[in-house]
Structure 1
Amino acid sequence: MSSKKDNVTVVKIPNDQHVLVEKVRTLLLETPSKRTKEEQKSHFKNLFDTANELLRRDPNHSHYKELKAVSLFSFVDHCSVADPIAMVKLQEANDLAPNIKFIRDRLINLYIKNNTTVPKKLMDQSRLYDHGNNNNSNNNNNNNRNTNMNMNMNMDQSSQDKILALKLYASAVECEMKGDLQSAFRLLYAAHEKDKEHRDINLHIGRLYTKQGKITQANKHIDNAIRGKPVMWEAHMEKAGLEQKEGESSNAVRRLGYMVKSTDTTPEMKKRAMLLKIFYMNSLENSDNGKEIYDESISYFKLLNIKPYQFSEDQIKGFKRQSPIKIGYLSSHFKEHPIAYFMDGILEYHRSEMFQVHIFQIGQVEEDAYTARMKSYIHPDNWHVLRSDSCKLLADMIRSHNIAILSCLDVHTERDGEIASYRPAPIMVNYLGYPNTSGIDTIQYRITDSFADPQDTKQPWSEKLIRLPNSFLTFRASHLTVHPVSVAPCAKNGYVTFGCYNTLSKVQDPTWKCWKQILDRLPQARLIIKAPLFIEESAAQHYRDRLQKLGVDTSRVSLRAYSMDTQNHYVSYDEMDVSLDPFPYNGTTTSMDSLWMGVPFVTYAGTTHVHRVGASILNNVGLGDLVGYSTQEYVDIAVKLGQDLDRIKSIRSSLRDTLSKSILSDPKSFTIQLEDKYIEMFNQSLI
């Protein structure tokens, strides 16, 4: 038995399904928009599972259909979903319950908003169910809209294509969420064929091309997404990322700065743009010793307006009594990643009688051999995977383990920095992953050395610098293949071959101007540049055009795609005699790889940490004479070494052994030095 009220069926529910119906109704009364993304996901999974179970039991029950329809509407209403996905979900809801006016009206408004003809079926439903229910006032208010709808009642092929494009796009997004990128790409391209101007579709295709390293294609689609109004800030964010990959960091920083200053950007988008801008600024030359980055970093974390946790006197007393001291490492990169390359030895050689080591891994990672090896060093109960969209909750989780010292390995990322701002431990350290100040007042210390940060440094820091006696790095070459060091190619060629395998974002115009001088002074010399960008010949040609504008003889420069095959990548060092370190953002992992393969590098040491990492590495392997302290010295040293083929051959034959015997490859001794500094922090801070 049923009745009608406001176009929604009111029914009596069989007793055995009453509980499920009440559960759906209760969930619909909640407000998921005020929850975290993870909590929203759980809420709607629960809601849809329950509504689907009702329909499974009775697929034709009109009220069960209405409950599922309203559930879909709730999802669209409370979650920030793109219009194409919202239209597909609301269409599904309308098909289930065409009698519910607010669903139908929302769907019609979305068609109008996206300049798409309203389907005739939807208009017919509107007239059928709304007939006689609207008063004269409503009819007058909607008169113009209905007139426009009636003019477009008969859908042309273009409108049908646009609707199909939206459906294909929604399906592509679902495939991507399931990890099926191949199907997602196929569906996206099919959607693009139906509506080439749709900005969301172009943006999504551009993102997938970026993941594939096809930057030319990515630029094409991202540019299409940027065109038109209103401003599509997500597309500008993607464009900035592409500019950074192409070595055009100044353009990326300028674009992100515009986003930060705009009054149209959302607070969340402004925050993301500001953080990315700070990171990209490290690739640019500066004349203020890093003060602008320092100021921007301080401003960013003030913008978060986070109130940090305050430890009580009793809690501090408890930390003082810790033995062994509980120390934690926070990162999302406990897998094959540069962070792991430098942390692996530290985790193995921490002395358990002095330190109880905890790992706080942000999010689930696809575990690999590196993860397995690092896990073997840590007690299973002390390896923590943090899962939540709430950084405050993650900080609370860390704090619950009574960690005395937390070393943050990725403070430049949005989540790590925000977690640190909540002060999950009384002693906080900025280490390894980011070559600049955090700007976070809850982080008291930064680990470095006297080569990277001399005592007389003018660079401003929000942290106190803790200098290790030799190097701030320890490198374990276990991620490298056991490829033997080859004979220096200059022995066969009779001339020097320079090279750079660093990411192009580090290779800016000032670096190229120096490299041009080196090539000009050594007429036979060659230069190999290797980067993911060059997987596309069109991208490589675009880069050559840029070099020609700088006056570089591109016939002597070989642009090669970065090999995803580790074996082939390291074999390619056989073709190089000397690496050229970019500036101001020096290499780190790439520089260590080069030394391991017997290839020395020349660096230019500036006035900031990011500009002096190369100097730190070279001084710790006895090659301090390859450090220049001006651009002219950098060029002169490279030219002198390029002329001394005998020295190149000599270095080639002994460099791996030299590296292996240095502090850089002695994680046991390094970790003792690091632990000594941790103990100093512990004794000085807990007072």
Structure 2
Amino acid sequence: EIVCYSCSPVRDEMTAAFRSSADVWVDAWQMSDDELADRIQADKVDILIDVSGHTTGNRLHVFARKPAPIQVSGFGHATGTGLQTMDYVLADPVFIPQSARHLLAEKVYDLPCLITIDPILDLPASEPPMLRNGHVTFGVFNRIYKISDEAVEVWSKVMREVTGSKIIIKHTLLDDPMLRDNLVARFVAQGVAEENVTCLGSSPRPEHLRAFANVYISLDTFPQNGGVSTWESLYAGVPVVAKLGNGASSRAGGSIVAAVGLDDWVAEDDEGYAAIACKYAAQPAYLARLRSDLPARIAAS
């Protein structure tokens, strides 16, 4: 039996979708912590899962009262709550490494991959763009404020080493000419020719997904990784180079890439990241096979 305690006054189509999946729905946003804890106990809930973490509007004070025998932090960033009354935190083998697990109040319960999206089933297969245009095209379809100076430096190093390579950066904010010019200037300052940097702005989602047909290899941002954008690239058959950092948000990319069996696309440092990008940029036959195999790999993961 699934009981949902809705702690937000917002009502939209997502609320309706969750409500239709619940056996019992409780509008709990006006309940005090004591009232909600009493209601959960009265409902005889065995396993209580939090999906808010330390974000605005959370009900961690309810979890501190331990109204259910097993309590789980299911918030999608696997940072833990610090509550001794929280028994488990959902993560995956990459998101929280073994060396850090002693730091959490909760016991880590591993899923195959913590960050997932609904399957993208209608994405048409595409041939590697290198076969059409004769050069390697890297892609970054992440939010541009995730693009750190360190990432630009590493990407530029890769582009200097991969002769004739180009990069496509796509994000809604790049409709703004000033932001676009500023981003291009950051690459130019690292020795990348302006004509080798293409900036694309907003587009309807189907068109956005089809734009991966022009990308040979995707480059994940760091230290703040991609999530949905990483999955979108993989569903399009475009592998993603990722780098592991110390925090949860800097391990999401590696978590996703490893979950579909591409462990050798995950680096520990900048040098390893650049080496992976350069290595596979020189293997067009392998990338062509991988491009056609990735959707099936994801389905089996």
Is this a same-fold pair by TM over 0.5?
Answer: yes
Q: Would the alpha carbon gap of residues 527 and 361 (structure 1) be closer, same or farther in structure 2, given more than 3 Å must change?
A: farther
Shift of 1:360: 2.4
Residue in 2 aligned with 1:414? 56
Residue in 2 aligned with 1:405? 47
Residue in 2 aligned with 1:621? 260
Q: Would the alpha carbon gap of residues 360 and 458 (structure 1) be closer, same or farther in structure 2, given more than 3 Å must change?
A: closer
Residue in 1 aligned with 2:272? 633
Q: Is the 8 A contact 1:421 1:441 kept in 2?
A: no
Residue in 2 aligned with 1:529? 169
Identity %: 27
Question: Per-residue CA shift, 1:233-262, capped at 9, x if unaligned?
Answer: xxxxxxxxxxxxxxxxxxxxxxxxxxxxxx
Shift of 1:638: 0.5
Amino acid at match of 1:620: A
Distance in 1 of aligned mates of 2:232 and 2:130: 20
Distance in 2 of aligned mates of 1:403 and 1:434: 24
Structure ranking higher on relative contact order (CA contacts 8 Å, 6+ apart): 2
Q: Would the alpha carbon gap of residues 649 and 606 (structure 1) be closer, same or farther in structure 2, given more than 3 Å must change?
A: same
Alignment map for 1:117-516 (pairs within 5 Å): 356-368=1-13, 371-379=15-23, 382-388=24-30, 397-416=39-58, 418-420=60-62, 422-423=64-65, 425-426=67-68, 427-457=70-100, 460-468=103-111, 470-473=112-115, 475-477=117-119, 480=120, 482-516=122-156
Shift of 1:460: 2.8
Residue in 2 aligned with 1:580? 219
Runs of 4+ in 1 over 6 A off after TM superposition: none
Tell me, what secondary structure is at the counterpart of 1:438? coil
Distance in 2 of aligned mates of 1:566 and 1:366: 24
Shift of 1:554: 3.6
Distance in 2 of aligned mates of 1:444 and 1:491: 52
Amino acid at match of 2:237: G
Q: Would the alpha carbon gap of residues 537 and 366 (structure 1) be closer, same or farther in structure 2, given more than 3 Å must change?
A: farther
Shift of 1:399: 5.0
Distance in 1 of aligned mates of 2:198 and 2:28: 44
Distance in 2 of aligned mates of 1:554 and 1:444: 53
Distance in 2 of aligned mates of 1:538 and 1:474: 34
Residue segments in structure 2 that go unaligned for 5+ positions in a row: none
Alignment map for 1:69-88 (pairs within 5 Å): none
- Compute the TM-score of the two structures, normalised by the length of structure 2: 0.86
Larger helix proportion, structure 1 or 2?
1
Q: Is the 8 A contact 1:490 1:497 kept in 2?
A: yes
Distance in 1 of aligned mates of 2:216 and 2:38: 51
Q: Would the alpha carbon gap of residues 363 and 412 (structure 1) be closer, same or farther in structure 2, given more than 3 Å must change?
A: same
Q: Is the 8 A contact 2:172 2:202 kept in 1?
A: yes
Question: Per-residue CA shift, 1:197-221, capped at 9, x if unaligned?
Answer: xxxxxxxxxxxxxxxxxxxxxxxxx
Shift of 1:589: 2.0
Distance in 2 of aligned mates of 1:458 and 1:358: 30
Distance in 2 of aligned mates of 1:494 and 1:590: 25
- Compute the TM-score of the two structures, normalised by the length of structure 1: 0.40
Q: Would the alpha carbon gap of residues 550 and 388 (structure 1) be closer, same or farther in structure 2, given more than 3 Å must change?
A: farther
Shift of 1:483: 2.6
Quick check: which has more Rg, 1 or 2? Answer: 1
Q: Would the alpha carbon gap of residues 554 and 439 (structure 1) be closer, same or farther in structure 2, given more than 3 Å must change?
A: farther
Amino acid at match of 2:88: Y
Residue in 1 aligned with 2:300? 661
Amino acid at match of 1:585: Q
Q: Is the 8 A contact 1:621 1:659 kept in 2?
A: yes
Question: Per-residue CA shift, 1:27-46, capped at 9, x if unaligned?
Answer: xxxxxxxxxxxxxxxxxxxx
Amino acid at match of 2:2: V
Shift of 1:481: 6.2
Amino acid at match of 1:641: Y
Larger strand proportion, structure 1 or 2?
2
Residue segments in structure 1 that go unaligned for 5+ positions in a row: 1-355, 663-687
Q: Is the 8 A contact 2:50 2:72 kept in 1?
A: yes
Distance in 1 of aligned mates of 2:86 and 2:195: 49
Shift of 1:660: 1.0
Tell me, what secondary structure is at the counterpart of 2:72? strand
Tell me, what secondary structure is at the counterpart of 2:99? coil
Q: Would the alpha carbon gap of residues 491 and 429 (structure 1) be closer, same or farther in structure 2, given more than 3 Å must change?
A: same
Residue in 2 aligned with 1:595? 234
Shift of 1:528: 1.4
Q: Is the 8 A contact 1:428 1:445 kept in 2?
A: yes
Amino acid at match of 1:511: A
Question: Per-residue CA shift, 1:20-74, capped at 9, x if unaligned?
Answer: xxxxxxxxxxxxxxxxxxxxxxxxxxxxxxxxxxxxxxxxxxxxxxxxxxxxxxx
Shift of 1:609: 3.4
Residue in 2 aligned with 1:283? none
Distance in 2 of aligned mates of 1:542 and 1:406: 47
Q: Is the 8 A contact 2:50 2:73 kept in 1?
A: yes
Amino acid at match of 1:388: Q
Question: Per-residue CA shift, 1:556-599, capped at 9, x if unaligned?
Answer: 22222233x22122111112121111122222222112111111
Distance in 2 of aligned mates of 1:570 and 1:392: 47
Q: Is the 8 A contact 1:420 1:442 kept in 2?
A: no
